[in-house]
Structure 1
Amino acid sequence: MAKKFVVAMMMHETNTFSPLPTPIESFAKSGALSGLQAIAEAEGTNTSLGGFIEIARKAGAEFAVPMAAAANPSGLVTKAAYEQMTTAIVDEVRKGCDAVLLALHGAMVAEHYDDGEGELLNRIRRIAPDVPIAVALDFHTQMTDAMVRGATVMTGYRTYPHVDMADTARRAGRTLMRALAGEVEPKMVWGNRPIMSSSLVHTPSREPMKTLMGMASQAEDTGQVLNASVFGGFPQADIPHLALSSVIVCDKRTAEGEILLNKILDTAWERREGFLFHPEPLSVQVARAKSLEGGPIVMADHGDNTASGGTQDVMSVIEEAIKQGLEDACAGPVCDPACVDQMIKAGVGADVTLELGGKIDMPAMGLKGKPLKIRGKVKAITDGTFVVTGPMATGTTIRMGRTAVLDTGKMQIVVSERRSEPFDLGCFTHCGIDPRRKKYVLIKSRQHFRAGFEPIAKHIVMCDGDGCTASDLRLFKYTRIKRPLYPFDPDMRLGRNEA
């Protein structure tokens, strides 16, 4: 008799400083929320849900997808949205199943729960205490005891930008399939160190995270342990369980896994200075970009990036680039539904004057919205939909909402109705702009842009623009984090519990 699996996705990286609420409609914008349509949209894509569907197909299992929810990072997930998503998953598990495969983020904060993933797993365990559960997580997970207690197997992305999302699910799924076959008996050990690093400096492609991830990957790939993951954490969340963490999945005995775990975490603590971010004036960064020869010169505004909860309408970097006279540039997407509407009503070829961006205040950051008055010609109008061809989330459909291009003569600016982080060239090419032929490419991103744009870039200049995703953690007013915490307490020493 065929096995029955429950496969589900519930993903949100919650920026508690973001002014943007996250209702269920935010999740629905990414596609179907359940059933056959959700399966059709995810199957074959480089996503955790796509990876788990592949595992279920290979196992010859019957499977249901009661929830396939993913929303762009933003503020707190509403209580109603959280309850709708978790209830759908729990109700399906209640019907009975042989395994549960969950694509989660690891940094979801709801209005009524700090640990969205841990609470979901708690609810599943209350009705199905023994069902095997595989969980695939984002690299920016904020790990908790509830998450580890609730899962049978856990794996996290090894990359940032996340080009291994499907593979992360496959890694968890393969271990779970071996457990179902009686080949292995997964036992997890985990720990953390009180380090809150800026996302800009903890990517596994560079030190010091490169060494830590290398240790974990080698141990898993050589079969020393079943799975090993390191998580950088997500600093734009004012919650008590912020830390750098690691989870090791062992086979029956945990001694070897505990040795590896402590080696990874002790190395992280020894190299903690490498996780410090050093800010710089924006005017200096734009001037540096202007002084460089050749192109494209990619200018990444990491203070207002959608994939960390930014409003995507802060104009500080574009304004500074115009002020310093940069030419032959493309920029965007800027999220401004009102300006899109104005451009569509004017029509292609029309001259328009816009109050672009700056529509949203950020009280948690002490920032007021500041629109930029700008004139130009409407160059193109699209539905904002394209399929990703680059290495991150390959095959998924991006829906930016109605989109228009403003051509100022020196800069072509993509303006969209919805927020969408530019990690794929399609955000420009779908509306007739080839960023490979531009001198300057201004985008709002921290690391994900590297998936699609690093291969075409002659130079990359990081820009400290304003916004609620700033990399300088001193700009945030934390009231709920657990102290002492590095780098806020630079002279702290580890007590017995942390070490």
Structure 2
Amino acid sequence: MKILIARMNHETNTFSPVATPLAAFGRNGPAFGADAYNENKGMQTAMSAFIDAAERTGAQLVTPVSASANPSGPVAAAAYDTICNAIVDAARGCDAVMLDLHGAMVAENSNDGEGDLLERVRAALPNAPIAVALDLHGNVTQKMIDNADIMVSFKTYPHVDMRECGAHAARLLFDLIDGRARPVIAWSQPPLLTHTLRSASAAGAMKRAVEAAQAAEREGMLAVSILAGFSLADIPAPRISVVVVGDGNREAAAQVAERIARQIWDDREGFFYRSPSLADSVAEGAVLARGADKPVLLLDHGDNCMSGGACDTMDVYEEAVRQGLTGIVTGPLCDPEAVTVLLAAGVGATVTLEVGNKLSRRAAKPRPPVRLTGVIRALTDGEYVISGPTYTRQRAYMGRAAVLDVGVAKIVLTERTHEPWDLGVFESVGIDPRRATFLILKSRMYCRPVFVPIAHGLVECDSRGVTSSDFGLFEFRNVQRPVYPLDADATW
């Protein structure tokens, strides 16, 4: 048996000013062929689980590409075509397909990146079973449903079950091939845009929805997935979805999907997040820090790298300084211009330069960069190995990095946007984050499994960047209306 296994991951924020060329996928572009296999083998990805499951059967593996980029603006058409063509061109002669996809990709030439890819794969292999693993934040479309035999998403956010999701999808694929199951897909999608900060799976409405999905699996459904969607994609339906894989009985699967979707709709207020003012949030952090012997986390979710943020807004830093906070460590802050200046000056030099608010002003009300004077403490290649639990053992690339010490704060500056999902973002440049009084991180969730254990507490801070929880900042032109909460009177 010959099995096609590939990975294409991108969460697209159509409001983001961050470009997504082919080079954004990986260190300098996707991994192809044997490199795609090696990039995933033994890692905590769905593709890794696909590889292991296929190898246990003795199948011949075809791994044309592994392409994963940080969330950002729409994927360049040339990049999208290159990745999709690699997958479709490799499909010839394959007996089955397993794809590790995100589910919320928008390209310059496709509003439904995964759906259009799956349609092409299905056309190339009309009789081959297709299994798909998706991110919990996937925006499901009918085209995706129509062109897959098995669809399973992560059940955790922060995402720590990527490999388990892939193993689940692979198990169902081989059950189908071996005649042990007859997977059928049903789905339901209420008119609800969710806030990412309310899609955490450990509490609230999302926890209740995931628990309902797990109960339905225990009661006989092959897989039940709750996909919160990614609302910062201005496409027709960036909405929450329930996808159910039943065993031969589509009507029963549809009933489960409808029941859980109705529960979600009735619980819709639990998916809505209201941001306090930035000044109030920073002041709350200052109170938390009194007498603390561990850092207080100030999470800048309005400029969150892993939702497409420019990673260079200075709002939280400026407010913290205005309120007299000291002992600050912040980063990674993406400013390639500043990094170039610091590299030229060298470690130990005192420099004055403008930092931040450069890329972000293309998408928001212009704010000038902040003029800072400080000492350069470190210069590195910006690479480190992730300790986990997310993307464990994978190598991370921040671009070249520098540390600027301005007295009240040590600022980690990088050439690329980068999620602080590991202590390595600081330890790789010689900073011990445990010794900070305040850690300003451009993050919503991914930082939490690593940084919460070393912290005294955390405060969510909305810098009103392109990943803000305030939908009023964004001009939605393509979203089908009415939809809650854009339309308070939306019904279902």
- Give the TM-score taking structure 2 as reference length: 0.97
Counterpart of 1:412, as a letter, is K
Q: Is the 8 A contact 2:360 2:465 kept in 1?
A: no
> 1:493 Cα deviation (Å)?
2.1
Q: Which runs of 5+ in 1 are unaligned?
A: 495-499
Post-superposition Cα deviations, 1:161-217, rounded to whole Å, max 9, x if no partner, equal 111111111110111011111111111111110000111112221211111111112
> 1:460 Cα deviation (Å)?
0.6
Partner of 2:447: 449
> 1:237 Cα deviation (Å)?
0.9
**SS of equivalent to 2:468:** coil
Counterpart of 2:421, as a letter, is F
Counterpart of 1:159, as a letter, is T
Counterpart of 1:194, as a letter, is P
Partner of 2:267: 271
- CA distance in 2 between counterparts of 1:181 and 1:434 reads 52
Task: Trace 1:163-182 onto structure 2 (pairs within 5 A).
Answer: 163-182=160-179
The counterpart of 2:78, out of the listed 74, 77, 80, is 80
Partner of 2:159: 162
The counterpart of 1:60, out of the listed 20, 36, 58, is 58
The counterpart of 1:197, out of the listed 194, 198, 214, is 194
Q: Is the 8 A contact 1:29 1:71 kept in 2?
A: no
Counterpart of 1:470, as a letter, is S
Partner of 1:210: 207
Post-superposition Cα deviations, 1:126-171, rounded to whole Å, max 9, x if no partner, equal 1211111110101111111110111111111111111111111111
Cα gap change, 1:404 to 1:30, in 2 (>3 Å)? same
- CA distance in 2 between counterparts of 1:318 and 1:168 reads 37
Counterpart of 1:314, as a letter, is T
Post-superposition Cα deviations, 1:276-322, rounded to whole Å, max 9, x if no partner, equal 21122111111111111312101100011111111111111111112
> 1:29 Cα deviation (Å)?
2.5
- CA distance in 2 between counterparts of 1:31 and 1:177 reads 32
- Residue 260 of structure 1 pairs with residue 279 of structure 2: no
Q: Is the 8 A contact 1:360 1:369 kept in 2?
A: no
Counterpart of 2:353, as a letter, is L
> 1:218 Cα deviation (Å)?
2.8
The counterpart of 1:474, out of the listed 472, 475, 487, is 472
- CA distance in 1 between counterparts of 2:224 and 2:83 reads 28
> 1:42 Cα deviation (Å)?
1.4
Partner of 1:35: 33
> 1:491 Cα deviation (Å)?
2.0
Task: Trace 1:304-453 onto structure 2 (pairs within 5 A).
Answer: 304-364=303-363, 366-453=364-451
- CA distance in 2 between counterparts of 1:397 and 1:476 reads 34
Partner of 1:8: 6
Partner of 2:244: 248
- CA distance in 1 between counterparts of 2:427 and 2:59 reads 40
The counterpart of 2:461, out of the listed 450, 460, 463, is 463
- CA distance in 2 between counterparts of 1:439 and 1:491 reads 45
> 1:223 Cα deviation (Å)?
5.7
Q: Is the 8 A contact 2:36 2:64 kept in 1?
A: no
Partner of 2:97: 100
> 1:324 Cα deviation (Å)?
1.4
Q: Which runs of 5+ in 2 are unaligned?
A: none
Task: Trace 1:112-131 onto structure 2 (pairs within 5 A).
Answer: 112-131=109-128
**SS of equivalent to 2:481:** coil
Post-superposition Cα deviations, 1:339-378, rounded to whole Å, max 9, x if no partner, equal 11111111111111121111125455x4225211111111
Partner of 1:232: 228
Post-superposition Cα deviations, 1:409-433, rounded to whole Å, max 9, x if no partner, equal 2211110111111111111111111
> 1:121 Cα deviation (Å)?
0.6
> 1:86 Cα deviation (Å)?
0.8
- CA distance in 1 between counterparts of 2:360 and 2:490 reads 35
> 1:228 Cα deviation (Å)?
0.8
> 1:248 Cα deviation (Å)?
0.6
- CA distance in 2 between counterparts of 1:432 and 1:317 reads 23
Cα gap change, 1:34 to 1:75, in 2 (>3 Å)? same
Partner of 2:147: 150
Partner of 1:497: none
Q: Is the 8 A contact 2:188 2:257 kept in 1?
A: yes
Q: Is the 8 A contact 1:35 1:66 kept in 2?
A: yes
Percent of counterpart pairs with the same letter? 43
Counterpart of 1:327, as a letter, is T
- Residue 219 of structure 1 pairs with residue 225 of structure 2: no
